[in-house]
Amino acid sequence: QVQLQESGPGLVKPSQTLSLTCTVSGGSLSSGGYYWSWIRHHPGKGLEWIGYIYYSATTSYNPSLKSRVTISVDTSKNQFSLRLSSVTAADTAVYYCARGGSFSSYGIDYWGQGTLVTVSS
């Protein structure tokens, strides 16, 4: 059973960089075959795909966030990470890491529990 767990600060100041890490257990990032995504959920709004990474470090980002987003992978730790720069209050959301999110026919089948990140001074 694959499990994902997000970790990182719950409070970030405006203009700073949001950094989150997702630790994967029950499966290996380096085994290939899957894309690994970051997705966020703004309070009272819908889900927004942020981007994904493959174990080879191939990435794709949401065009609306592309200039501020970096997703990286550390296969030795079985982790992948999100960095979102120059944050504003509009970036306050619950952030999820998940398996899937590409053009796969299998959907996004495993999700982390989510972590609330608040942008405030």
Partner 1 sequence: QSVLTQPPSVSGAPGQRVTISCTGSSSNIGSVFDVHWYQQLPGTAPKLLIYGNNNRPSGVPDRFSASKSGTSASLAITGLQAEDEADYYCQSYDSNLSGSVFGGGTKLTVL
Binding site for partner 1 (CB under 8 A): 37, 39, 45-49, 51-52, 60-63, 96, 101-109, 111-114
Q: How far is the CB of 81 from partner 1 (least distance, A)?
A: 18
Residue placing its CB nearer to partner 1 in the complex, 19 or 59: 59
CA dihedral 24, 77, 38, 84 (to 10 degrees): 150
Q: Which alpha helices (H) appear in the chain, and where do they start and end? A: none
Q: How far is the CB of 97 from partner 1 (least distance, A)?
A: 10
105: CB partners within 8 A, 6+ apart: none
Three-state DSSP at 67 gives coil
Q: Which residues pair with 115 in a beta bridge?
A: 95
Residue placing its CB nearer to partner 1 in the complex, 55 or 111: 111
Residue placing its CB nearer to partner 1 in the complex, 32 or 106: 106
The closest of 83, 92, 79, 85 to 121, measured between CA atoms, is 92
Residue placing its CB nearer to partner 1 in the complex, 7 or 16: 7
Q: How far is the CB of 45 from partner 1 (least distance, A)?
A: 8
